[in-house]
């Protein structure tokens, strides 16, 4: 039996209002998205909740898209010096989530706010582990995994409005 990886989250609020998510929720959602092929027994990540201005600036600077977005993932890259010494840091990276975009999308997509927050944390955590959805085959793999994780957490198919089915 594979032992579960322990996850420590640094939840940062860069906005005044903090209705959701809680640290416990982020912990539960991200933990569910951790894949067992992780090399560590314990890993760390940051979840930063931001406003539309910060999201837009980061999205523009790092993705060339001048608008706020729901979640940005910044996987941690090990410094070459540590790798040469045979050491690595057990750090996944940072998620930056725009609260207002998540709230607006949940309303537009007729989803519960909690379910959409869970999906954004799951989605971002998978990105931190190298999953992507640029190519069709990668997208199918990642979305299928998201569906499975979300259903295991007790939530609906996050892609139901797109007419995609969980496989």
Helical axes 23-33 vs 113-128, angle rounded to 10°: 50
Does 116 belong to an annotated binding site? Answer: no
Does 123 belong to an annotated binding site? Answer: yes
Does 133 belong to an annotated binding site? Answer: yes
Q: Which residues are annotated as part of the binding site for Zn(2+)?
A: 123, 127, 133
Q: Which residues are annotated as part of the binding site?
A: 123, 127, 133
């Amino acid at each position: 039996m594979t032992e579960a990886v322990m996850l420590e989250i640094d939840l940062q609020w860069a906005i005044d209002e903090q209705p959701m998510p809680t640290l416990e929720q982020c912990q539960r959602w991200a933990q569910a998205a951790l894949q067992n092929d992780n090399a560590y027994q314990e890993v760390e990540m940051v979840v930063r909740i931001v406003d539309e201005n910060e999201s837009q600036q980061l999205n523009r600077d790092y993705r060339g898209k001048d608008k706020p977005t729901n979640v940005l993932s910044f996987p941690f890259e090990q410094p070459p010096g540590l790798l040469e010494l045979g050491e690595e840091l057990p750090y996944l990276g940072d998620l930056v989530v725009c609260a207002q975009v998540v709230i607006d999308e949940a309303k537009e997509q007729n989803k519960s706010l909690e379910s959409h927050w869970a999906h954004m944390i799951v989605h971002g955590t998978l990105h931190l582990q190298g999953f992507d959805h640029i190519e069709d085959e990668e997208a199918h793999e990642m979305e299928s995994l998201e569906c499975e994780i979300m259903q295991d957490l007790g939530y609906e198919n996050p892609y139901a409005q797109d007419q995609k089915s969980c496989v």
